[in-house]
Structure 1
Amino acid sequence: MIAGSVAALALAGLAASTSSEPPAAQRVSTIRDDRIGEQSDLVASPTHRDLLWLTNDSGDSARVFGVSPRTGRTRAVLTLRTDARDVESLAGGTTSDGRSVLWVGDTGDNSAVRESVVLRLVDEPGSVRSQSTDVVSLRVRYPGGPADVEAMVWTTDHRLLLITKELLGGRVLEVPSSAVDRALAGRSVTRPALAKQVARVSQSFVTDASALPDGRVLVRDYVGVVAYDPPAKGRMRSLASVDLPEQQQGESIAATLDGRYAYAGSEGQVQPLWRVRLPRLPAPERSETPATTRVGQAQRVVRDAVRERPLDWSVVGAVTLLGTVLIAVVAGARRRGRRRR
């Protein structure tokens, strides 16, 4: 009887140990580069396998490290041909024309004294090797004045978002698309572009964020990460949360390209890199039809065009004509929808 019980327990333990369900969090490597002691962010390379980009925060020069999540070793260092004050945020991904880019955010401001901050745009190199690279600068200011920002996201629909680090939740700010487009065209924006608040998150002390491939956004604080729907109509719907492993000063998060996992890192020398399984998220809300989505995109194009040039009758005429077309498109879509029902 005892032998049978022991055998049953052994089989149960074996079944548990061979379960196909991966652990919620797994330590995958350790970052041992003694030049990396103030890790503040992480971005999964959109181009190169086995590569994460990261930066140190205040006190370091303008450089970006490429490390292997599998081994923790540094594979490349990008030296930016510019200066740096307090790099605290990093974002990356592809553009509408297929370029792979990194946005390096010199956005740190613990004392909230900087009237404007600067984002550096870098084309991700085609080869993984240490090199110097030119940058395009985009200067930004915030509504309501200076704020500390440690999280930046380049969304899958090519919006550049910044999230403030505050005690009672963070403000989600969007950099004007006209300024982003100018930077992507290779022209620096030296006159500060005014970011617009588009949502809030409830987390205290947001330290990093990352875009998921389906358009959702991961936002982390010192102890956990929350998945949100993208900003829409002034809000971001929270979908799920995950506790992160205990870390010395956890500040970084990067979603994998398939959206199944996220890498989490910490400040400090010789720090572990964790891979965290993300929960399955509910289906996206379908609040807009394709026709109204196209209308919104066209309206943003017109809005930005009007902002960038003095108002004249040719612009007024173009706006009026486009408005007429948009109304016809929406009316037609609604009529088709009624016929289907």
Structure 2
Amino acid sequence: MRVVLALTAVLMLAGAIPAAAAPASPAPETLCQVKDKRVNELSGLVSDGEHWYAINDGGTKVQVFVMDRKCQVQKVLTDPTDPYDVEDFARGQDGTLWLSDTGDNRAKRETVALLELKPSGGPAVVHRLTYPDGPHDTEALILDQSGTPFLVTKDLLGTSKVYKPSAPLATPGPTKLEQVGTLRVHSTDTPGGPVGSFGSALITGGATSADGKVIALRTYTDAYLYAVPDGDVAAALQREPVRIPLPNEKQGEAIAFEPDGTLLSASEGVGEPVRAIKNATALVTPQASAPKPGGAATPQPAAEDADGFPVVPTVAIAAVVLLAAWFLLSRKRRRS
């Protein structure tokens, strides 16, 4: 951990991680603790208003844990399909569950996949996807009002990319993805996560409100809520978000909306809590519908030297490389 803190400090001094002041927002309320040892790597969460549906990341078969409001597992939906690394979870308007098998820490997968599962039963349907620009590690899935999936990458250098399918999903595919935007989240001083301040800039999950008017992205330490007044997710991510700190989550990756607009968050680890921010969607005011000045969600070009190469402090590059290597090696998952 001292190595992580030291590298993060180097990045801060080098100007690679600008600090952001936290706005006033309600504190998360603990609802219950997930003590079932089967749900030890909770990475995705959705709600139908009566039950919570939870997934672990990784795994050798599809497993969806159906929990009550006391974090007790009531049943498990299973399918023999062997995913590579499921990282996020979404629920369609018709109740269909979508598992985002898009984790790729080593950036070597030729295809990723969305797994479609009906709670009423039947086999999982696999939809394979390909990126237009090579592999990415992706931990956030968002469904828009029409059910179109959007993937937001987890980028170690701070600028995430946003993709959606370029055509209707094929079975098994692959269907080509197209990039529809970029997103930059700066580090914050919210405590928590496995890698200190560095983790506060890594996108680890996404969610959509029941009416589709608000979308949420989260890092290990904070949630960001965006207004989607017209259903256009790509445009929404160009707007100024409302930031909600989610302090002291061990490894926060799960985020979800209740039908009433309550925001839920949860972390990996047995005994970790599910927490709630009541009426979270009400925090996104009409003013949030305005685009950021100059489209601030898209990063500005880096300064260049006389030969046209980006100017980045050498110490920052070294720190990023070392920290990225440490982070990848320290992750417990996955298969080679």
TM-score range, shorter chain: 0.5 to 0.7
Q: 1:156: how far off?
A: 1.8
Query: Among residues 156, 159, 182, which one is paired with 1:169 in the alignment?
Result: 159
2:114 aligns with: 119
Q: Answer yes or no: is the 8 Å Cα contact 2:107–2:136 preserved in 1.
A: yes
1:241 aligns with: 243
2:267 aligns with: 266
Q: In structure 2, what residue type is equivalent to 1:52?
A: W
SS of match in other structure, 1:42: strand
Greater fraction of residues in helix: 1
Query: Among residues 102, 105, 118, which one is paired with 1:110 in the alignment?
Result: 105
Q: 1:157: how far off?
A: 2.6
Q: Answer yes or no: is the 8 Å Cα contact 1:157–1:215 preserved in 2.
A: no
Q: What are the Cα deviations for residues 278-301 of structure 1, in whole angstroms up to 9, with x where unaligned? A: 2521227499xxxxxxxxxxxxxx
Q: Answer yes or no: is the 8 Å Cα contact 2:167–2:176 preserved in 1.
A: no
Gaps of 5+ in 2: 1-24, 186-200, 292-336
Query: Among residues 23, 31, 37, which one is paired with 1:28 in the alignment?
Result: 31
Change (3 A) 1:253 1:281: same
2:92 aligns with: 93
2:90 pairs with 1:76: no
1:7 aligns with: none
Instruction: Give the distance between the partners of 2:182 and 2:215, measured in 1 at CA.
Output: 13
The count of corresponding residues between Structure 1 and Structure 2 is 243
2:157 pairs with 1:154: no
Q: 1:216: how far off?
A: 2.3
Q: Answer yes or no: is the 8 Å Cα contact 1:159–1:177 preserved in 2.
A: no
Q: Answer yes or no: is the 8 Å Cα contact 2:214–2:227 preserved in 1.
A: yes
Instruction: Give the distance between the partners of 2:29 and 2:134, measured in 1 at CA.
Output: 40
Instruction: Give the distance between the partners of 1:82 and 1:215, measured in 2 at CA.
Output: 33
2:327 aligns with: none
Q: Answer yes or no: is the 8 Å Cα contact 1:199–1:234 preserved in 2.
A: no
SS of match in other structure, 2:42: coil
Q: What are the Cα deviations for residues 112-131 of structure 1, in whole angstroms up to 9, with x where unaligned? A: 10011111111222xxxxxx
Q: Answer yes or no: is the 8 Å Cα contact 2:226–2:284 preserved in 1.
A: no
Instruction: Give the distance between the partners of 1:42 and 1:177, measured in 2 at CA.
Output: 27
Change (3 A) 1:107 1:281: same
2:181 pairs with 1:199: yes
2:74 pairs with 1:63: no
Instruction: Give the distance between the partners of 2:126 and 2:34, measured in 1 at CA.
Output: 29
Identity among equivalent pairs (%): 30
Q: 1:31: how far off?
A: 0.8
1:208 aligns with: 205
Instruction: Give the distance between the partners of 2:136 and 2:258, measured in 1 at CA.
Output: 29
Gaps of 5+ in 1: 1-21, 126-131, 183-187, 288-341
Instruction: Give the distance between the partners of 2:167 and 2:147, measured in 1 at CA.
Output: 9
Change (3 A) 1:237 1:243: same
Q: In structure 1, what residue type is equivalent to 2:276?
A: R
Structure 1 vs Structure 2 CA RMSD: 2.2
Query: Among residues 214, 222, 225, which one is paired with 1:224 in the alignment?
Result: 222
Instruction: Give the distance between the partners of 2:159 and 2:259, measured in 1 at CA.
Output: 27
Q: In structure 1, what residue type is equivalent to 2:271?
A: V
Change (3 A) 1:236 1:60: farther
Instruction: Give the distance between the partners of 1:214 and 1:65, measured in 2 at CA.
Output: 24
Q: TM-score, normalised by structure 1?
A: 0.66
Q: TM-score, normalised by structure 2?
A: 0.67
2:321 aligns with: none
Q: In structure 2, what residue type is equivalent to 1:35?
A: R
Q: Answer yes or no: is the 8 Å Cα contact 1:208–1:221 preserved in 2.
A: yes
Instruction: Give the distance between the partners of 2:237 and 2:39, measured in 1 at CA.
Output: 36
Q: Answer yes or no: is the 8 Å Cα contact 1:66–1:74 preserved in 2.
A: yes
Q: What are the Cα deviations for residues 39-68 of structure 1, in whole angstroms up to 9, with x where unaligned? A: 1111112xxx43111111124532111112
Instruction: Give the distance between the partners of 2:238 and 2:64, measured in 1 at CA.
Output: 30
Change (3 A) 1:240 1:270: same
Instruction: Give the distance between the partners of 2:75 and 2:224, measured in 1 at CA.
Output: 30
Larger radius of gyration: 1
Instruction: Give the distance between the partners of 1:82 and 1:61, measured in 2 at CA.
Output: 5
